[in-house]
């Protein structure tokens, strides 16, 4: 045996014994939810290796030391540092105690961050309403990615919108931002707190910037411009579950547009045929078609009568070639659009509340896990998504600039009320 091999062998054996000792010590020290988590992974450590805490521990302590940025009370950072220092002696029991202390502090921090604040969102799917995750849930999610250190460093349990805004809050505080600016940042941060992290497959629409992002497997996989609601017809703070792609869709014209726009055009001489529309008896699943001549258009224009109108499928249809549905009482959905000019504008607040997509094909391919394909002429072809996907409509006005933190125009007037 060569001298090099002979010298290396004892080091390997010592390392193996050390790791076995930590496993035994964790088994002896852990209790409750921590014990259940560690038992499921054979009591292997997450934070400590060879008696030393890894870089994730330093990252966590950095977050805990600046928890006021999250609107949270101080944590016992000195106690954690002391536990980590005690583990450096190489004994298994102090290393196990440091390991468990880090996991407990981490779980508490994540649970506190996820707690609801002043921001309010309507949950069309009640299952999406945030709940404080249990200790085991927090730790299992952290242990799943290939790199635990990267997961902690990126704060991947929170939305990247939240992580960005937390950094902006730190920068604003350092630059001496005004009380009003800090209050606006806190409101933005609270809205972002309601969004999931990138390991949840989901879609986010920001009605302030007019952008959409979609995420899976720990990263953002796509983004695009969108047109969102005007100040008078705002896109709400809303969360639901995308379930269907509707190819070759109708557009059901909102009542106020029928009253303010379509009725006036008909009274001025336009026909429903020229507008590519039809009138229907009701909003049920099987309405009958009504002849336009049977409608009192003056009463409709005056708001004394209502009539259901829908735009027929085709190249000029306001929905374009596809719309993506998630059940909600506001009648909001994501859809293609034949009107592309508005997507080129910096301010894209023009819709009646729904979201017009810059690239419906790309989003459709991701949602359906295959290209949309060409639709037949049959209207309203419903295609179920292979996996239902959460969608979150939010409102984030804070942005970073070369001069520091800035805010987009508060088009919806929400920065003064959460």
Q: Hey, which residues are catalytic here?
A: 335, 354
Question: CB–CB of 75/67 below 8 Å?
Answer: yes
Query: Which value, in Å, is the radius of gyration of the alpha carbons in the chain?
Result: 28
Q: Which two tokens stand for residue 210?
A: 């007019």
d(CA 50, CA 27): 17
Cα angle 147, 149, 150; round to 5: 70
What's the DSSP call for residue 284? S
Largest Cα–Cα separation, the chain: 102
Q: Which two tokens stand for residue 353?
A: 């509340």
- HSE of 224, CA atoms in CB hemisphere, 13 A: 21
- Phi and psi of 106, rounded to 5°? -60, -50
Question: Strands 211-216 and 202-206, how do they pair?
Answer: antiparallel
Q: How many CB atoms lie within 10 A of CB 11?
A: 9
Q: Is 310 helix (H, G, I), strand (E, B) or coil?
A: strand
Task: Identify how many contiguous H helices and E strands the chain contains and give both numbers.
Answer: 13, 18
CA-nearest of 64, 81, 61, 80 to 72 is 64
Element containing residue 74 per DSSP (H, E) = none
Question: CB–CB of 247/322 below 8 Å?
Answer: yes
Question: CB–CB of 332/238 below 8 Å?
Answer: yes
- Phi and psi of 390, rounded to 5°? -65, 145
Question: Strands 349-351 and 219-229, how do they pair?
Answer: parallel
User: For residue 91, with 0-12 CB atoms within 10 Å meaning exposed, 13-18 middle and 19 or more buried, which class applies?
Assistant: middle
Give the C-alpha distances (Å, rounded to integers) separating 400 from 164, 181, 277, 353, 404: 9, 13, 45, 27, 6
d(CA 306, CA 285): 18
Element containing residue 190 per DSSP (H, E) = helix 179-193
């Amino acid at each position: 045996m060569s001298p090099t091999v002979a010298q290396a062998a004892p080091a390997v054996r010592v390392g193996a014994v050390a790791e076995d000792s930590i496993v035994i010590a964790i088994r002896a020290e852990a209790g409750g939810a921590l014990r259940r988590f560690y038992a499921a992974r054979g009591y292997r450590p997450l934070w400590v290796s060879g008696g030393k805490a890894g870089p994730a521990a330093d990252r966590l302590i950095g977050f805990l030391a600046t928890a006021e940025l999250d609107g949270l009370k101080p944590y016992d950072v000195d106690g954690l540092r002391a536990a980590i220092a005690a583990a450096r002696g190489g004994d298994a029991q102090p290393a196990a105690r440091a390991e468990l202390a880090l996991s407990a502090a981490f779980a508490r921090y994540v649970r506190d961050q996820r707690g609801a604040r002043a921001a309010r969102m309507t949950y069309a799917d009640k299952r999406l309403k945030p709940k404080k995750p249990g200790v085991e849930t927090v730790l299992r999610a952290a242990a799943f990615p290939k790199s635990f250190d990267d997961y902690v460093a990126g704060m991947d349990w929170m939305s990247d919108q939240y992580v960005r805004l937390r950094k902006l809050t730190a920068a604003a505080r350092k630059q001496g931002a005004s009380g009003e600016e800090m209050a606006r940042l806190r409101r933005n941060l609270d809205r972002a707190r309601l969004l999931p992290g990138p390991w949840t497959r989901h879609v986010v629409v920001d009605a302030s910037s007019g952008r959409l992002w979609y995420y899976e497997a720990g990263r953002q996989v796509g983004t695009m411009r969108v047109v969102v609601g005007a100040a008078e017809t705002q896109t709400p703070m809303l969360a639901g579950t995308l379930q269907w792609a509707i190819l070759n869709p109708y557009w059901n014209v909102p009542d106020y547009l029928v009253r303010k726009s379509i009725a006036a055009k008909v009274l001025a001489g336009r026909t429903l045929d020229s507008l590519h529309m039809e009138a229907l008896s009701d909003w049920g699943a099987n309405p009958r078609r009504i002849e336009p001549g049977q409608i009192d258009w003056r009463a409709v224009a005056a708001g004394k009568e209502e009539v259901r109108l829908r735009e027929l499928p085709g190249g000029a249809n306001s929905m374009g070639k596809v719309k993506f549905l998630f059940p909600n009482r506001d009648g909001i959905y994501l859809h293609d659009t034949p009107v592309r000019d508005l997507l080129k504008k910096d301010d894209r607040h023009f819709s009646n509340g729904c979201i017009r997509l810059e690239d419906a094909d790309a989003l459709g391919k991701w949602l359906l896990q295959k290209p949309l394909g060409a639709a037949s002429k049959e209207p309203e072809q419903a295609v179920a998504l292979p996996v239902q996907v959460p969608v979150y409509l939010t409102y984030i006005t804070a942005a970073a600039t070369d001069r520091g933190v800035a805010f987009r125009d508060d088009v919806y007037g929400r920065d003064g009320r959460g």
